[in-house]
Amino acid sequence: MIVSNTGKYTVVSLLVNGSSQDIMIRSADTLLCTLRNQLGLTGAKQACGNGDCGACTVLVDGKPMHSCLLLTMEALNSGITTIEGLRHSPVRQAFVDNWAIQCGYCTPGFIVNGHALVTEHPDAEDERIEEWLQSNLCRCTGYQEIKDAIKSALNANNLLDSNGIDTAEQ
Ligand code: FES
Ligand code: FES
């Protein structure tokens, strides 16, 4: 929501990780730039800066988006979730448990994207996981542990009934 406009800058209200904040932006600011420089949320990274690597992935109304390609102005009426807002995501813990944590540049984007996959496609199989991960790049190591982590989060998710109760413990 636009709060006020003072020429070069516009004061807007942005909903990030469940909390609404008033900030001053320029019309050309990317969402990535606003998150990092205005809100101090540095989990999303600027790497390629042109939509190829996924290091800047955040959720916009639950959908994974490359925040380097999105203007903050375009996200004003949406709910944004960053890696900082996914502290309790089972995907985050699955990355730890499966040794899928890689460097600080690629890992946040993989976790955010993986969280969206588990949420949107709880029955995802190998082919969909492969396809889903194509939006995130790592040139230095393998993808196997990442796939294992996502599968393990999917399995854990499937052990929850529709009320969120862990059926493995009943
Ligand atoms: S920094 Fe956005 S996709 Fe690479
Ligand atoms: S880019 Fe992070 S480990 Fe390769």
**Predicted pLDDT of residue 139:** 83
Quick one: tokens of 84?
């900082």
Question: What percent of the chain clears pLDDT 90, i.e. is strictly above it?
Answer: 83
Distance separating alpha carbons of residues 74 and 22, to the nearest angstrom: 16
Average pLDDT value for residue range 103-118: 97
pLDDT for residue 10: 92
Burial of 49 (0-12, 13-18, 19+ CB in 10 A): middle
State in Å: Cα 48 to ligand 2 middle.
13
Instruction: Report the C-alpha gap between 46 and 68 in whole angstroms.
Output: 7
pTM of the model as a whole: 0.90
82-107 pLDDT per residue, tens: 999 999 999 999 999 999 999 999 99
Q: Domains in the chain, please, with CATH? A: 2-82 (3.10.20.30), 86-169 (1.10.150.120)
Ligand 1 proximal residues by C-beta, below 6 Å: 46-49, 51-56, 66, 68
Per-residue confidence (pLDDT) for residue 88, from 0 to 100: 92
Closest ligand 2 atom to 55 CA:
1
DSSP state of 68: T
Q: Closest Cα to atom 3, ligand 1: which residue?
A: 51
83-92, 109-118, 133-142: the lowest-pLDDT one: 133-142
| Ligand 2 near 142 CB (within 6 A) | no
- CA–CA distance from 153 to each of 68, 97, 119 (Å)? 27, 10, 10
- pLDDT tens for each residue of 12-41: 999 999 999 999 999 999 999 999 999 999
